[in-house]
Amino acid sequence: MTTFKKIYESVLKFLVPLTPEQTYETIVHEAIRLAGGEHGSILIESDGKLKRVYSMHSILFRNEPEKGGIRYEVFISRQARVLDAKQIERVKEKHPNLKSLENRAAIILPLVYQDTSLGILSVIALHNENFKKRELEVLKIFSSFATLAIQRAQALQVRDLFISLAAHELRTPLTTINSYTQLLYKRLQGTNIPESGWVEELRWEVERLTHLVSDLLTTNAIQTGELQYRMQLSDLPEIIDRAINAASLSHPNHDFSIKKKLIRKETVFWGDPEKIFQVLTNVLNNAAKFSPTTEKIKATLNYVNGNFVVKIQDKGTGISKDDLPHIFDEFYKGKGNYRSGMGLGLFLAKSIIDKHKGGIKVTSKKDKGTTVAINLPIMKV
């Protein structure tokens, strides 16, 4: 394998979202794969000090780098260093607790990208007497990508924290607004005064906001692995009816229909009814959002080879070829789509359907319309 191909393969590992901890671990393992060696560590600067954030060897955790030592030197000068067996012996004389380690050669690299210097990466060999120049060069290229990956993981962590705080803060006042709106709605229901129409509007908007906020909370929970599923025997036609009702209520000018073509009496499956309701709601809301009120939105429920198949079809704007591969990405909105939304609905839908071991597929043609097909296995998952 060529060197570039090897580096490329390592860098690919950073394309999926990783927490900072997962990023450190991936960097060290990939560095070893690229350069050889048996151990590795990452130290990150904070408050002017280099702190060990990941190490493959527990002994190393007890060994904090000394100011003025070689690791600070690499960090400050931003110059990588290669140590051979003799130099390592000298390091061990200074650090008796490292004596039990049988390391013989090391590469220490600064984690720099453009003007930012985050810390250092070290790779240690137990069997080789020395690292070669080629290995150093490979790691130099790799370490810029590694630095980028760390920066990204840290930024994502801050963003997630911000989102979850914001969503929690928003939820409390929304609940109160929601309750009062419901009260007002009940009072004015059936009267002919214009205010009753206003309250109706208000109610829809509050509901929409509540959904947006709960979507945000759910995304965050997915990332932190906290999303709670309450799996049980659930009745699919009933969930669909509820979702269609809710969608008709939120989009009173759209015409929703459902056809159930079930050849099988059983209508239950193993899953979380609330989560499936959310999936259907997200898809139905998209259908309404992206199609004119003159076009019907048709849902069908079928049973094919041990799976339920729900299809939701609209004759709206459709999705362009460029957008189609990305619509399940987190925060992805179609290009030129200025309608409300955060680009989370389908991302959430897919994670929920995946959890049910089902599938979700979107077929669409620009200006012709969109069909979303959801497969749900009946059996226990």
Ligand X SMILES: Nc1ncnc2c1ncn2[C@@H]1O[C@H](COP(=O)(O)OP(=O)(O)OP(=O)(O)O)[C@@H](O)[C@H]1O
> Which residues of this chain interact with ligand X, rule CB under 6 A?
215, 282, 286-287, 290, 314, 316-319, 323, 327, 332-334, 337, 341-347, 370
Q: Which does 101 bind (CB under 5 to 8 A by kind): ligand X, Mg ion, none?
A: none
Q: Sketch the per residue contact string, 240 through 279, with Mg ion: x for CB under 5 A, - otherwise.
A: ----------------------------------------
Using CB under 5 A as the binding rule, whether residue 345 contacts Mg ion is answered as: yes
Q: Which is nearer to ligand X, 181 or 282 (CB)?
A: 282
Distance in angstroms (rounded) separating the CA atoms of residues 261 and 245: 19
Integer CA distances (angstroms), 217 to 17, 133, 160, 162, 170, in order: 18, 49, 10, 11, 10
| Cβ-contact 318, 370 below 8 angstroms | yes
Query: What is the C-alpha end-to-end distance of the chain, expressed in Å?
Result: 40
Strands 359-365 and 256-261: unpaired
Half-sphere exposure of 24 (CA within 13 A, CB side): 19
Which of 128, 143, 286, 370 binds Mg ion (CB under 5 A)? It is: 286
In terms of CB distance, is 234 or 285 closer to Mg ion?
Answer: 285
Q: How far is 104 from 124, CA to CA, in rounded Å?
A: 7
3-state helix, strand, coil in the chain (%, to 5): 50, 20, 30
The entry of ligand X, Mg ion, none that residue 297 binds, CB within 5 to 8 Å by partner kind:
none
Q: Least distance in Å: CB of 259 to ligand X?
A: 18
Residue (70 or 319) nearer to ligand X, CB:
319
* Shortest reach from residue 133's CB to ligand X, in Å: 49
To ligand X, the closest distance from the beta carbon of 249 in angstroms equals 17
Shortest distance, CB of residue 166 to ligand X, whole angstroms? 15
Q: Which is nearer to Mg ion, 273 or 345 (CB)?
A: 345
**Considering only CA atoms, which of 232, 11, 68, 53 is closest in space to residue 154?**
53
Stretch that binds Mg ion, among 27-35, 70-78, 106-114, 345-353 (CB under 5 A): 345-353
Q: Which does 334 bind (CB under 5 to 8 A by kind): ligand X, Mg ion, none?
A: ligand X
**Which among 208, 203, 269 has a CA at the least distance from the CA of 240?**
269
Site string for Mg ion, 131-160 (x = CB under 5 A): ------------------------------
Judged on CB neighbours under 10 Å (0-12, 13-18, 19+), 338 is exposed
Q: Which is nearer to Mg ion, 221 or 342 (CB)?
A: 342
Minimum Å gap between C-beta 311 and ligand X is 12
Q: For residues 103 and 317, which CB has a smaller minimum distance to ligand X in the complex?
A: 317
Let me know: does 284 contact 297? Beta carbons within 8 Å: yes
